């Protein structure tokens, strides 16, 4: 099992950027073959200081193995997501991959 977690900071100049990013992920990323689990959502506030609350959106994908995730990265729909949903709506991104 291979987990791919992506944390997004959306563009504060565009009040629709969070919703547009989520819609783009659902449109372009969710249908890519090999994804066992797909979960994207908005940051949830917390009273706990240990919880990072600076981002707006998180994406959590699970693949059967690293090779499947590598194939996902170059899939045409992933490339389209980057161009049409990520670049227009995000200022920063951090990725965590682990097995």
Q: What's the whole-number mean pLDDT along residues 15-28?
A: 97
**Residue 90: per-residue pLDDT:** 97
> Which pair of structure tokens corresponds to residue 88?
């227009």
Neighbours of 71 (CB within 10 A): 15
Which domains occur in the chain, in start order? 2-45+55-93 (3.30.70.100)
pLDDT band at 2 (very low <50, low <70, confident <90, very high): very high
Does this model's pTM top 0.85?
A: yes
CA distance 70 to 46: 33
pLDDT digits (tens, 9 = 90+) for 23-80: 999 999 999 999 999 999 999 999 999 999 999 999 999 999 999 999 999 999 999 9
Q: What is the pLDDT of residue 92?
A: 97
pLDDT of residue 63: 98
Decide if 69 contacts 4 (C-beta within 8 A): yes
């Amino acid at each position: 099992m291979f987990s791919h977690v992506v944390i997004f900071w959306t563009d504060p100049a565009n009040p629709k950027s969070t919703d547009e990013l989520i819609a783009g992920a659902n449109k372009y990323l969710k249908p890519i073959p090999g994804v066992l689990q797909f979960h994207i959502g908005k940051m949830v506030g917390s009273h706990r200081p240990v919880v990072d609350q600076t981002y707006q959106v998180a994406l959590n994908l699970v693949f059967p193995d690293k090779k499947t995730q590598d194939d996902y990265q170059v899939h045409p729909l992933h490339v389209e997501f980057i161009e049409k949903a990520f670049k227009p709506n995000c200022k920063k991104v951090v990725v965590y991959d682990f097995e």
